[in-house]
Amino acid sequence: MKFTADASNIICSRVDTQTKSNLTNEYIVAHFDKRLKEIPPHVESQLTDEETDELRHWLLDREKIKQDPSEKNLLELLPKLMDEGIVAIDELDTINQNTFNKLLTSIDHLRCKLLGAKSKLSSTPANSAQLNKQEANKERLDQVAKHII
């Protein structure tokens, strides 16, 4: 199950992968108003119990992210974003030269800052969000961007 948010809706999609051809099919099962914090009955009736639980956790995590778009959340999210970037690079036929240069520069700066922050290391484990990876990334970056801009 994949959950995404557009300008006004939360969209619940099933993703099926065919093992022989390794092709994926994604189809929308339900959608509802993005402002809702609970699962509407018409959506719940379309989901399995497991999918409903997954959506409930996704909605809770989404609210937590909106309430705390902190630097800590961003740093915990960064490895997942980078993994998604790796997948995106594998799937692209071409990469824009400007984007390529910006990525390399950012990676270099991040590496320098990270190495310089070794003295700040903590033994406390990071909390991982249960929210759908791609949507979590989008939500957190949107919230951080709002605070930066």
Q: Are residues 100 and 86 in the same domain?
A: yes
Minimal CA–CA distance to 148: which of 64, 54, 71? 71
Domain stops at, among 50, 67, 84: 67
> Distance between CA 8 and CA 35 in Å, rounded?
8
Average pLDDT, the chain: 81
pLDDT score of 128 more than 80:
no
End residue of a domain, out of 41, 67, 93: 67
Assign 5 a pLDDT band (cuts: 50, 70, 90). Answer: confident
* Model pLDDT, residue 30: 96
**Domain containing residue 95:** 71-148
Identify the residue with better confidence: 27 or 76: 27
pLDDT tens-digit series, residues 53-111: 999 988 987 877 777 666 776 777 778 778 878 888 888 888 889 889 999 999 999 99
What is the number of structural domains in the chain? 2
Largest CA distance in the chain: 51
Say whether both 120 and 140 belong to one domain.
yes
